Amino acid sequence: MTEAKRCKTAGTAGERGARRRGHIRFANVLAKMCLIVGALIILVPFWILLITSFKSSSEIISAEFTWLPKKFDVSGYVNAFNWETAAITSNVLIGLANTLLYTLPTTAIGLFVSGMSAYAFSKMRFKGRDALFAVLLLTMVMPGTVVLIPQYTIYSMIGWVGTPLPLMIPGMFGAAGTVFFLRQYMRGVPDEILEAAQMDGLGKFRAYWVMILPVCVPAFIAQFVLNFIAGYNDYLGPILFLGGGDPSRYTLQIVLSNMVGQSEREIQNRMANAVVALVPLIFVYLFLQNFIIDGVSVSAVKG
Amino acid sequence: MENRISVTEGAACPKEECPALGKRGGQPHNAAKRRETALGWCMALPPVVGFLAFAFIPLIISFVMSLNEFSRYSYSLEGMTFCGPQNYIAIFTDPDLWKALGITLLLCLSIPFEIFFGLLIANLLRKPFFGRRAFRVIFFLPNICSIVALAFVWTYMYSPQEYGLFNRIVSLFGAGPFGWTTDADMFLGCIIVMTVWNMMGYDALMFQAQIGNINQSLYESADLDGANCVQKFFRITVPMATPMIFYLALIGVIGAMQSYARIDAMDIDPYGMGPSDSGLTLVGYMMRAQEEPIAFGGLGISAATSFFLGIIIAVMTFVNLKVSKRWVHYND
């Protein structure tokens, strides 16, 4: 498009124009090549992860590297899925089940609460609203690791350490970032539909449920997925609060981190477990990439 | 916009029946107003309560803990005795803390690279073309994956054995084999390279959002003036992206100051922070005091470290906010 425009405006200098067009075509090819090289750099570790999980131990440490396994060996996956042989401290399936069990309800309830809060901050007028919002914004600049140690102390005093409660209960109160994002989104929803709800005799809460939620579904999906991914990948919290305790309560990340430092012979098992851990996430990502990418970039511009 | 609505709607319905319009719509009943305030507080409050209960109160307790001594093995507040600034004196006279601070700051070296590559990718993806979406999805992929799972494949590629990918690459140039993550001098470099790989897609995505907001007529007038793509990049894209550069640098530093997981996962030895503690970050220093109270001082030391870290981050946030006003171009 710009090329056509340039031809129209600067078209008199034929020779120069042709040279410029050549430059542009060259620059275009160069740009695409850079992108392809970059994408390969991103993808190669994933490919190596995948093929190594199918290589036998002897092939993994052999001097010759191949981009495909010479012989597909699924023993890594057999070990990962075998309830008897897989040590319970490193059973990726238990970890996966626990992670989903802890993360999904927390994310859902937290999102509902955040959404309600965002609705109040964006569509209701009440005394002290802005002061309350300012307090909430403080959360966003407060780094989480700073309060881990006192959290651990408090949780151990009330008997939460060794249980998944520290990973679940705080999240159910909603998150400031989510409130901020949803509030921004809801401000774009015209007030007219709320007035219509009002005239139909709907209360404020019903109006949120019936009128706002359906309109804001994309924003809610984006936040749900982002919060779910964050919970799925959470590392320091689970290690601190669950790491020393009952192995049947371990999350996926604890299970994986217990495999760090195992011997060379375990490389194949480790890779297979990593693939099992990543596949659900990558599926969610590819399936909902629209929401995720838009969610992240919108939070970028607004944040 | 709200004004316009209140004017048109105000004529249609009696003012008392439109509490949604609030003050601007007229004078709603006092009772309705009070009810809305109560409901509003109830709905808005949970995240604030969560923040107070799970972050703010712990922050206060953290400060109290940092001024107390704990009996070793005690994770309860009951066994503590006040000791004044002893814990702070202990950590500030400990060379390990300064080493940890240095290592943590070195990890920030990944940020300029992340930002540079991120901006480059975003700029290459500026115009729509077939497959653009696929590139965006690919570049962001490492960011959603768990760092431990990624660390498995990276430790394999960094293997000190000859089958490691990086040793294969350097052997093409007749060098190596190197120890990579098992070599204390190279450990941080390895972490930084992996971090750049992991984070540049995130930065690229952020820049794409920012670049999408740049007024296209700037590029068009630059085209008319015969600017080439390098000139456009440095004269338009970079200046217009400064708010995002600043923002990414800030959250990058805040993230790097708290780095722990990637080092813990990349380290072969489960009980250390990199070969000869070459990856001991501030959070690592804090965690080991808590995990091994006999060797490294216990909860008081841990709390003092976390408070020190919190102050560093707060100061950085504040300074960044002040400094950025001088050189950031806002697009409004």
A37 shares contact with chain B (CB less than 8 Å) = no
Please identify, in words, the CATH class of the domain defined by B91-327: mainly alpha
In chain B, which residue's Cα lies nearest the Cα of A258? B270
Strands (E) across chain B are located at: 68-70, 80-82
A198 shares contact with chain B (CB less than 8 Å) = yes
Quote ipTM for the complex: 0.84
Q: Taking the model in full, what pTM does it have?
A: 0.84
Query: Facing residues of B68 across strands?
Result: B82
Residue A9 to residue B75, Cβ atoms within 8 A: no
B283 shares contact with chain A (CB less than 8 Å) = yes
Evaluate the CA torsion angle B204, B206, B208, B210 in order and state its sign.
Answer: negative
Residue B18 to residue A195, Cβ atoms within 8 A: yes
CA A188/CA A173 separation, integer angstroms:
24
pLDDT score at B329: 54
End-to-end CA distance of chain A: 33
Give the start-to-end residue ranges of the domains of chain B.
2-66, 91-327
Residue B41 to residue A141, Cβ atoms within 8 A: no
pLDDT band of B107, cuts 50, 70, 90: very high
pLDDT score at A135: 85
Of B58, B124, B197, the CB nearest to A41: B197
- For residues A208, A212, A214 and A218, what is the CA-based torsion angle, rounded to 10 degrees? -120
Instruction: Say whether pLDDT at B275 is over 70.
Output: yes
Of B140, B157, B269, the CB nearest to A48: B157
pLDDT score at B138: 93
Q: Is B183 helix (H, G, I), strand (E, B) or coil?
A: coil
Instruction: Say whether pLDDT at B234 is over 80.
Output: yes
Show the CA angle centred on residue A171, arms to residues A117 and B37, nearest 5°: 20
Name the token pair of B104. 């943590």
Minimum mean pLDDT among A96-105, A170-179, B232-241, B323-332: which range? B323-332
Of B46, B51, B142, the CB nearest to A139: B51
Instruction: Say whether pLDDT at A279 is over 90.
Output: yes
CA A278/CA A233 separation, integer angstroms:
10
CA B267/CA B286 separation, integer angstroms:
17
Instruction: Say whether pLDDT at B13 is over 70.
Output: no
Residues 103-162 on A with a CB inside 8 Å of B are 113-114, 116-117, 119-121, 123-129, 132-133, 135-136, 138-139, 141-154, 156-157, 161
* Closest CA of chain A from B67, distance in Å: 13
Residues 67-106 on A with a CB inside 8 Å of B are none
Q: Which residues contact B305 (CB under 8 A, 6 or more apart)?
A: B91, B97, B282, B285, B286, B289
The CA distances from residue A224 to A218, A246, B203, in Å, are 10, 29, 21
Residue A6 to residue B45, Cβ atoms within 8 A: no
CATH (one of 3.40.50.720, 3.30.70.270, 1.10.3720.10, 3.40.80.10) for A88-302: 1.10.3720.10
Range(s) of chain A covered by CATH 1.10.3720.10: 88-302
Task: Give the other-Cβ count within 10 Å of B97's Cβ.
Answer: 20
pLDDT score at A89: 59
